[in-house]
Structure 1
Amino acid sequence: MKAIAYVRCASPNPDYEDAQKRKCVKYAQEHGLDIMQTYSETGIPRSLSERLLAAVAEHRAEAVIVKDAARLGRNPAEYARLTDAFRAADVKLCLADLNRAPGLGSFEARLLATIAAIEDELLEETGMLEEDACSQDDEQDLTR
């Protein structure tokens, strides 16, 4: 099955981007997916997500692999827009951190995105939200 890997980080962090790519590649290998292209984006602009949507609409892949739901976006509306486009094109969403078979249920995926958005709101209210979406936990993955 052809797949696209999507890697995103809020601020430049080559090590974290590489770690995301490695997780996507490992997931693909474990589930018999062939990564045809990797999209990598840094920052907020999200122009790459539009190119990803175009690739999905053109049926260039049957699956999209991301490290976790937050890589697609922490805004539930944006996340829903992307996952709805995947579903309309019959493209499976694969979350490498969950290591489940291709096609994680949309309810589960949306729930994860909603939880991430609520977490951001709470952190922002308490002044604890960091500019970099790459958390310390994620950076610790690099040492494993």
Structure 2
Amino acid sequence: MVVGVPTAASALLALEAARLSALASGVNPLVPSAGEFVLGTVLSLGGAALWVAGLVSLLRSPLDPVARLPWMLVQVILPGLGALIWFWWRHRYYPARRAVDPAWDPNDRSLPALPPRRGAGRRAAPNEQD
């Protein structure tokens, strides 16, 4: 054994000693300290802001609703990671789409042409009162 190199057993012993000293001093190890509370709050608010920004960006995108649904599911199932994946994909997809179709505008909010409603071409039934 090399002197001065901590092993897994010595690391576990050190953690157990720290836990026992915290218990002996009357500090509850399950209650977060002030620094841990602030760090947790900042990370939670940052993750929530990232998630909301991803959802807003997705809803404002020119994708049709059918193509938007899988992205919405990814962002709901994987809140922070889904938003990051959406931002990455949008950054990669928009320039490639612009190269193929120079007239394409991602900020165009015009509604897509919808197919005719079902039964729009059907004739009305004749009136049976004759």
Q: Fold conserved (TM > 0.5)?
A: no
RCO higher in structure (CA 8 A, sep ≥6): 1
* TM tier relative to shorter chain: under 0.3
Q: Which of the pair is proportionally richer in helix?
A: 2
TM-score by length of 1: 0.25
